[in-house]
Structure 1
Amino acid sequence: MEETQQMTEQGIEQAEKSVTYIGFWKRVLSSIIDSLLLMLVTLPILFAIYGIEYFTSEQPIQGWADGVVNYVLPIAIVIFFWLRFAATPGKMVWRGVIVDARTLGPMSGMQCALRYIGYIISTVPLCLGFIWIAFDDKKQGWHDKIARTVVIERDE
């Protein structure tokens, strides 16, 4: 039993040595790509529901549909991409995938939820949780640390 666990741990250590972590600037560009793509989805929906007035109004939230389209829909889309493809389209540009930090295997639904909640935590203090990626050995942001995930380059 102990020998098997040692072999597994050695296999994980060996796999980690051959991993290429996706760094800060590629992840920044990935976020920009993802944000633009989400806008291509949400803005036409909001225009169809509220008309041009939506974009000229000073009210922060126009109604229940505004909340659903701007908050619930993006969360659903992002988590869908994480579960289905292990990456968002922006990360796919760099052949990046989000995996469990320990096993380098697929992340669970719980990890996806924790990672998304971690986005909020990473954002609140001046985006320090995202800036952390630039200085971390495994290029993990706070959201990655919370969910125990890493973003790596997928093997061809």
Structure 2
Amino acid sequence: MSFGSPNNPYGQPPQNPQQPYGYPQGQPGYPQAPQGQPGYPQAPQGVPPQQGYGYPQAPQGGYPGYPQQGGYGMQPTYANWGQRFLSRLLDTLLYAVPYAVVIAGSKSTPILSAIGFLALIALFVWQVIMEGKTGQTVGKKAVGIRTLKEDTGQPLGGGMAFVRQLAHILDGLPCYLGYLWPAWDAKRQCFADKVCGSIVIRTNP
């Protein structure tokens, strides 16, 4: 009687006599032996090898919800002297409109002069508030620059923006040297910026 006989009461012999007991054949997740090494189950064809034990691999692009390291330590793009000069020129031209009304009223009608003077004050207050809240006056917004705190990167606030306007007196005292200082300063700061701890950066570097 042979194992291949149909009368064999014990059934067919095992297909792989070297298959050890206790290991399901063809199941992924078990340790794989090199090709041709007896005594270990081989992974079935078409099934990708399972990842071994150890630390899980991070997905491509890093874990969601965590900032990437490349975003830290980057310096802002400071506004150059030409951009600062152009923004101040635009603001000066804006102030020139109510100032012209003041001059015209002083030669003709005192009421017109008073209206121009009130408009000049209102424009100054509005410019200070806007620079304190957004970092931009009308001229700075037109040029594309912004005044921020150097240590936090946030707008100055109305109070500090007003102090910065007063500190511009220091820029004009030594022959307007403070206004020229951003041309060669490493952080493009005038004297008022150094006193108030502010910087002027580009909004679109």
What TM-score, normalized to structure 1? 0.71
Greater per-residue helix proportion? 1
Deviation at residue 122 of structure 1 after TM alignment = 0.8
Deviation at residue 121 of structure 1 after TM alignment = 1.1
Query: Any gaps of 5 or more consecutive residues in structure 1?
Result: 1-9, 55-63
Query: Which 4+ residue blocks in structure 1 deviate beyond 4 angstroms?
Result: 10-13, 68-74
Change in 2 beyond 3 A, CA 1:43/1:69: farther
**Aligned equivalents of 1:155 and 1:107: distance in 2?**
20
Higher CA-based Rg? 2
Deviation at residue 69 of structure 1 after TM alignment = 5.1
Report the equivalent of 2:106: 50
Report the equivalent of 2:153: 104
**Aligned equivalents of 1:12 and 1:72: distance in 2?**
42
Change in 2 beyond 3 A, CA 1:92/1:20: same
Report the equivalent of 1:57: none
Query: Any gaps of 5 or more consecutive residues in structure 2?
Result: 1-68
What TM-score, normalized to structure 2? 0.55
Report the equivalent of 1:92: 141
The Cα RMSD (Å) is 3.2
Change in 2 beyond 3 A, CA 1:129/1:51: same
Change in 2 beyond 3 A, CA 1:106/1:12: farther
Change in 2 beyond 3 A, CA 1:110/1:84: closer
Among all aligned residue pairs of Structure 1 and Structure 2, give the percentage whose two residues are the same amino acid.
23
**Aligned equivalents of 2:185 and 2:158: distance in 1?**
25
Q: How many residues align?
A: 135
Change in 2 beyond 3 A, CA 1:35/1:146: same
Which of structures 1 and 2 has the larger relative contact order (alpha carbons within 8 angstroms, sep 6+)? 1
